[in-house]
Copies of this chain bind each other. A is one copy, B any other.
């Protein structure tokens, strides 16, 4: 079985946005053992859409169309597939009910154009949209499988993982695929892959694929075998080999990123943390509150962007700021102490430095101090991160989380 992805949208052909949906789907399909040999992109034009569907149907078994399911006149994907297959469009009751209650809650009726979003094709299975209003479809027609998925990435991802992928995997149960992710810190991708070179190169089962994302390296381990049990055994053996070489750099497994792992440790230890942020401007607080149930471990934080704010809200003394500057180990430590006191938390973390593009108090963009206040001591770390303002702030938060994680792991171990 091989799949072809067709991305629909004139905004793609005008180069206004990157087609990240195609990347996401390609990765998911290849991990599920479905080959992607071709991708196409077409604009919001019914004739040309029919042309790409025709081309795909001639060379691929599974045709996945993304985008063009919305309410506007430009959204033509359903119509094009209907014209190509000769199957009429059909209103889905459940999707229509959802549209009605959505607009009723806003005191409006459902306009004709919005009703389009509840349309599927005759004979197709409707795929619910848990993140939006346009429903998707799964259709088997003349030996081919067709998927219609919405364009907004969040909607597409959820619908694909929850409802579409299980249908595509139908019948492939004799080949079980299992994968897991190991997450690392304080080690670069090249260093990590060098240490595991013989396990990565020319291996087909199991496979190890490095995934580099914002300031972090992870490895995806994938095994294929006849049963869940053999797969789990294979995964366990592989992990043991990896841990023996680079286990001290591994902070967690699976989907949990450093913020979740750290939050879990805090919960386990029944400790709380607060934040005082200058450089990171609230990004640490935002990260700690991005999952539910955070209020037990994160009472709050202070974004103190100006020096006045540092004095007013955290009680940093004017003398300290004059003598050492706001970008200093002393200020970072006073900020960490300050928020720990204000929020009566067990730990406090602080970020002060130059986010760029200009230097600050003699420090180059990316140079910063991260302070950590614990029940026993207060320390600070000098960190230097390259890149854009956005990258510097994102990596700074990761770095702070690594430091905090180490602190908590030592605490737990001791």
Contacts and interface: CB of A to CB of B under 8 A. Distances in A.
Interface of A: 10-20, 22-30, 36-43, 45, 48, 51-52, 55, 59, 70-74, 102, 105-106, 111, 113-114, 131-132, 152, 154, 189-190, 193-194, 197, 200-201, 209-212, 220, 275, 277, 280-286, 288-292, 294-295, 298-306, 308-309, 312-313, 342-344, 355-358, 384, 386-391, 393
A18 B23 contact: yes
Given A19-B19, A305-B294, A30 B52 contact: no
B30 A23 contact: no
Contact of A305 (B14, B52, B289): B289
A220 B10 CA distance: 12
B190 A391 contact: no
A342 B309 CA distance: 8
Nearest to A20: B18
Given A38-B48, A290-B390, A209 B14 contact: yes
Given A275-B303, A282-B284, 6 more contacts: A11-B211, A13-B30, A15-B25, A16-B220, A114-B190, A308-B344
Contact of A343 (B17, B71, B284, B312): B312
B304 A300 contact: yes
Given A299-B308, A308-B344, A26 B15 contact: yes
Number of identical protomers: 2
Nearest to A292: B357
Given A16-B27, A210-B72, A281 B290 contact: yes
Given A189-B70, A285-B303, A303-B285, A41 B39 contact: yes
A201 B113 CA distance: 15
Q: Which 5 A-B pairs have the closest CB atoms?
A: A15-B27, A281-B289, A282-B285, A282-B282, A15-B26
A20 to B, nearest CB: 6
Contacts of A40: 38-41
A42 to B, nearest CB: 6
A66 B25 CA distance: 21
Contact of A42 (B38, B303, B357): B38
Given A286-B281, A299-B309, A309-B300, A356 B131 contact: no
16 contacts: A13-B39, A16-B220, A19-B22, A37-B45, A38-B48, A38-B52, A39-B39, A70-B190, A72-B210, A154-B387, A282-B286, A286-B393, A289-B305, A299-B306, A302-B302, A302-B303
